[in-house]
Amino acid sequence: MKKMTFGKVVCQIFLILWLILCLFPLYYMFTFSLKDTNEIMKVNMLGLPRQWLFSNYANAWNAGKTSLYLFNSVIDTFVTLIFTSLLGFMSSYGLLRMRWKGQKIAMTYIMMGMMIPMHAALYPLTVTLLPLTKTHLSLIIPYVAFNLPITILIISGFISSIPYEMEEAACIDGCGVFRTAFTIILPMLVPAIATAAIFVFLQVWNELLLASVLTTDKVRTLTVGIKQMSGQYQTEYGPMGAGLVIATLPTLVLYCCMSGQVQKSLVTGAVKG
């Protein structure tokens, strides 16, 4: 058995404290969702609930319309992920593996999109997308547009590390451009696409500004629905906490399922040749 040096003991203590610090918000949010307003604000802010009010979840799901808002968020996020992944892959392949005039200019123009914040484009987006506020397209279109540059940036870094000989061999075997891209290159980019998908998911799932302005009641997302649970004179914090738990669970599940792909992408991007 190896002896623990003083440095290792300090390191282990620091890591344990850091783990507790990272897990505390999840603990607080979960216990927050099972208390009533009086216990949250006055009697017992940090401890375990004195009465486990699972009815808060029922109230948030039904009276708070969390079920509808969750459904809308899933649709907006899922469609956005499909389009950003597909368009990001096709754009990256066309920008890096094909030769045409204005190739570098087009790449620079697309990357400049990351410099434009949503707040700067809020007014023109509101005017342009006003007729679509009763549909999911009012959010899907700007979400895809704003997240496409970062998706292209991530995927492009991986495509550039793939040797041209693989495409040349596919061409000799009779593969066309589309078949080469989707049957040879695309399977090799799964870690990159998974990494980009996590970034896009976090941006879209937690987005509040555009969702507050460009949606009506039937297509509002979960973040807007939770915000509306806060009343002007009285707020039921228990159901609001339950809504926050429901909104956080998909993010935790996605990361747990795809964290391996993210780690694989970091290793793949670090080692070339």
> Are residues 145 and 125 in contact, defined by beta-carbon separation less than 8 angstroms?
no
What is the per-residue pLDDT across 44-71, written as a single tens digit (0 to 9) for each? 888 888 888 888 888 888 876 888 899 9
Where are the chain's structural domains? 64-228
- Give which of 195, 72, 199, 187 is closest to 140, Cα–Cα: 72
pLDDT for 233 beyond 70 = no
The helix/strand/coil state of 162 is coil
CATH class for the domain made up of 64-228: mainly alpha
CA dist 225 and 221 (Å) reads 6
Residue located via tokens 């987006």: 125
Q: What is the pTM of this model?
A: 0.83
What is the per-residue pLDDT across 138-179, written as a single tens digit (0 to 9) for each? 999 999 999 999 999 989 888 888 888 888 888 888 888 888
What pLDDT shows up at residue 273? 42
CA dist 64 and 55 (Å) reads 12
What is the per-residue pLDDT across 173-223, written as a single tens digit (0 to 9) for each? 888 888 888 888 888 888 888 888 888 998 899 898 899 988 888 899 998
